Structure 1
């Protein structure tokens, strides 16, 4: 059913007389009643107001769509009202009103027809035409034209109808980028007419896992990930291998390339898939991906350990010390679980999973043993990273050496020969070569950081926080995070505080800007801004990415300046943070001064919001050279809406 069948010229009021929301609902309801669409006007208005009390029906862009499914409706209809001067509806002034009346027996066809109107109203040009329409017949024609264009778009054949693509996405933290890339690929596939299934390697594990049948039936394969993904499952199929960031921003091109067969055959059809994978890694080692894989497994230990230690402080700063008069057994338990257990495992886990990323399971034990030696020998986080690489590439070399051993001994290779020999070589290098110089570097860096005061501390805090805000999850952000984790492993907690400020300010500042400067953002951006409040408070910096991508020259500098000022304040005040992840959920128990810390975050966010508000241009611009005064007034009204 077409909209023109339920939106009649006689149900269009070009200039409503109402000046308030209540008067508007009365005026539109009365018009429907006068034209014979209502059987009980009082019941219909009661149902309209019941719907408004649940959630106001303004939808942004100066539009409100009051509606109700009511026993007081005789036949379904739409009535439109227009007010060029605007009516304060609920939270904003509206100019266009569409009251939808649906009776209890309306078919799904009626409901779909009535709901279709909201999709047309999202088009800026279409709304402008409604504002400028001179009579009721022109408004009906506008809807008829929109429906015709919509029907033509549905009939237009998709470019790749019938094609199938599978994908895998994964980012170091497994929180935001992983699912943003998956959603981007799904949306692009829908636009191209491609069936797609995307596996997400997220923080809680693998979601929507690909089956052998999925892979066998696929016309193209995409892996958009910055962490290790098992490529063996793809056999000798060509794979498009790229970063998770490209999955977010270039989804359509990736799908087209995958279908065109532009991927690389990583396994070369060799029956020994692991051997081919090792050759690829030896030629093109992906250091960044390996480090981030280790960091992603390390983070839960950092967070859990930091929070447990912070909880022990609730009983007193020295409550975990048996020699202190404030000693508390439960506080000692928390401190032991967090410090002696979780923190002790941080570096071994980092090293183990760097080695795992390079050499699969045989690298895990040598890597973790090398990481534990880094902890014991004082080389810490930096030594742990080196241990992971030493173990990983040692295992790869050993695999090549043992390839020619008798078949009877091959089964012992992954469980005995490789872990044993790999651990021995890694431990030997760490103990006699790496630990001493790395421990000296660690101690020197620790001494330098402990001696930072005044302007030096402010500059360090500003630099770290600014780096966090610069590319929001990219290499610069990760470099700053790695530095902070290294200092955290050495029990220097001030850099972690500055880093979390740098990660929280961009999304919170942008969210605040969408609230304070509504005319600078579209309705979609304002809705995304609401989500950014929650994500920013949870220390998910990636919530700022869509805004930065749309307007990088204004948003990114604003993010960096706000974050740098907040981070500098944080270091100047000497605030430390013993749980470098978790946002607002850990601040009350993990920050040395929670109130001042929140002030630093708020100051940075406000500065970012104000800069964005000053730099960005309004979404709508009035045409100053319009020759028709009524047109100019209408456009100005739209801008205010």
Structure 2
């Protein structure tokens, strides 16, 4: 398979004029759609937007490579456009992008990955990029690609690694610099960074070997002998890679974008020894090490917390829906709403039992994966057991647990305390004789970690139980004041649309579910649904306030809003934050307040309109959603000025 097998002529458009990044994305998606590369256009669009929300895919030097790996892709494919005037794609160098490829990769199958890797390495050739920009038509564009690929990779089997991953020069005794590149999707940046480092090494006369950790797995893997003999090591990665092998070596650890944009600087640092000696602590690999050097403590805590939440959510969502279905079934069957409500009928009892089992893992999974994010595998057991002890309410007086739980806050404390304890203990164990290394992961770490978390949780759980109970009592006693809380939570969901404030409100809703206060989660979800709906409605009713590109993309936000994907509003908020964000906050706050006023409840913390059947008082929940969307829409009409038409 060659690159031209993935790039159809109908998926190429040259000399395009696009006004913005969203406009460019839509153009590329439409080319994929027209070429029959997608089986679900909306799902693919969401995957692309989600990838962009995590950081721009613009490389710099006029290039952007948006990409997504998803089941929405029918077959591996490329789409390409050239933009003579350039488009602001939020590139790291601030320059407009004029050559854009969009990669559509299916979730299963890796045959195409090496082919895409070739394209990424070829794009590092500036002269060849200029030839592509000067192509007169799609056929010339394809011929330039095919000729370049055959020149650079003559009859190379697909399973071989790309040239970027090979040594840049022959070394008499050893390879001077070793490097590892990796990005979250493993499709674009991984190979471009590898090629940039290889090219720069060749220019400098320095032998270099690059290991790529792409979607197809690690290629050109560094050997023990190479690592031992290397003068310097570079790890340019935005995801965890195997780091223990670099113990005692000077390692330059940075983000993958620096491998593309700053290869000379990285190689000079590696060769000069301007890097700290790496000591493996069992933490989360390259990403964790970079965090320790360059990120604030708050950012590190946030990343560990999100690691726990992301693993916990499937248990809560599925379990919550099953429990809610149990109540719905008993309601339909006319069962009495007594102490057995939700399990009066056999079917309802089955749903409630299975849902309860899934739900019961919530705190243990949360704490376990926070611990693992901090201390790698040794932190998993400690966090998991600590979370389970928080859920059970274990104390010295009641070591087997009691009826009152330490709740969400107790699990958070267990995850962070257990994780950081194990991180510290691993450093202590560095001085243990090497002959005992094999006993550390199977005996020493588990025993010491379990003893610590057992003592720690039994000591702190009484205080966490009191705090948890006080919060629950306060929420129960709020009465009409809950409307203000609903207003606050709903508004927070729209302030940064997926950012830390949005996540804080969402976590509060999750914690409230664990405490049995399901109305808070209802206010949170409806607050997150309003911004895309308000924007879509405003684009429908007040077309003079929006650009042609924004109007064209607006209908998608109806679907994203109803699906509880707040991020659909981000492109509009980014284009005009001082007007769009306040309008969305107002609409979301109104929706959250109305939801609380009518006592709407939600046991499933995700799903949007698809879980409305299990919402308590769902008719008024719909009313709250409609009111919030209308208020946000009207605020947009008032705040936004008429758009300038091209």
TM range (shorter): 0.5 to 0.7
Matched residue SS, 1:571 = helix
The equivalent position to 1:184 in structure 2, one of 45, 48, 57, is: 57
Q: CA deviation at 1:519?
A: 2.2
- The CA RMSD measured in Å over matched residues stands at 4.0
Match of 1:615 in 2: 639
Quick check: 1:539–1:582 contact (8 Å CA) kept in 2? yes
Distance 1:548 1:324, change over 3 A: closer
Match of 1:232 in 2: 243
Distance 1:547 1:254, change over 3 A: farther
Is it true that 1:199 corresponds to 2:199 in the alignment?
A: no
Distance 1:264 1:382, change over 3 A: farther
Match of 1:581 in 2: 606
Q: CA deviation at 1:185?
A: 3.3
Q: Map residues 25-424 of structure 1 onto 2, 5 A cutoff.
A: 119=16, 177-181=50-54, 184-185=57-58, 189-190=63-64, 191=97, 195=123, 198-200=183-185, 208=215, 211-213=218-220, 229-230=240-241, 232=243, 238-241=252-255, 256=261, 261=266, 268=276, 270=278, 272=280, 274=282, 285=297, 286-317=300-331, 327-339=344-356, 341-377=357-393, 378-424=405-451
CA distance in 1, matches of 2:490, 2:342: 39
Q: CA deviation at 1:279?
A: 7.5
CA distance in 2, matches of 1:522, 1:545: 15
Match of 1:129 in 2: none
Q: Map residues 594-633 of structure 1 onto 2, 5 A cutoff.
A: 594-620=618-644
CA distance in 2, matches of 1:596, 1:263: 64
Match of 1:82 in 2: none
Which protein, 1 or 2, shows the higher relative CO under an 8 Å CA cutoff with sep ≥ 6? Answer: 1
Quick check: 1:240–1:263 contact (8 Å CA) kept in 2? no
Give ranges in structure 1 of 5+ residues lacking alignment.
1-107, 125-172, 243-250, 622-637
Matched residue SS, 1:270 = coil
Q: CA deviation at 1:369?
A: 0.2
Quick check: 1:182–1:200 contact (8 Å CA) kept in 2? no
Match of 1:62 in 2: none
CA distance in 2, matches of 1:466, 1:380: 25
Is it true that 1:447 corresponds to 2:321 in the alignment?
A: no
Matched residue SS, 1:586 = helix
Distance 1:325 1:403, change over 3 A: closer
User: Size of the alignment, in residue pairs?
Assistant: 442
Quick check: 1:220–1:258 contact (8 Å CA) kept in 2? no
Matched residue SS, 2:63 = helix
CA distance in 2, matches of 1:474, 1:215: 37
Quick check: 1:241–1:263 contact (8 Å CA) kept in 2? no
Q: CA deviation at 1:222?
A: 6.2
Quick check: 1:379–1:435 contact (8 Å CA) kept in 2? yes
Q: Map residues 420-499 of structure 1 onto 2, 5 A cutoff.
A: 420-431=447-458, 433-454=459-480, 456-499=481-524
* 364-373 or 474-483, larger mean C-alpha shift: 474-483
TM-score by length of 2: 0.61
Distance 1:254 1:213, change over 3 A: closer
Give ranges in structure 2 of 5+ residues lacking alignment.
1-7, 21-45, 65-96, 100-119, 125-181, 188-212, 224-232, 394-404
Quick check: 1:319–1:332 contact (8 Å CA) kept in 2? no
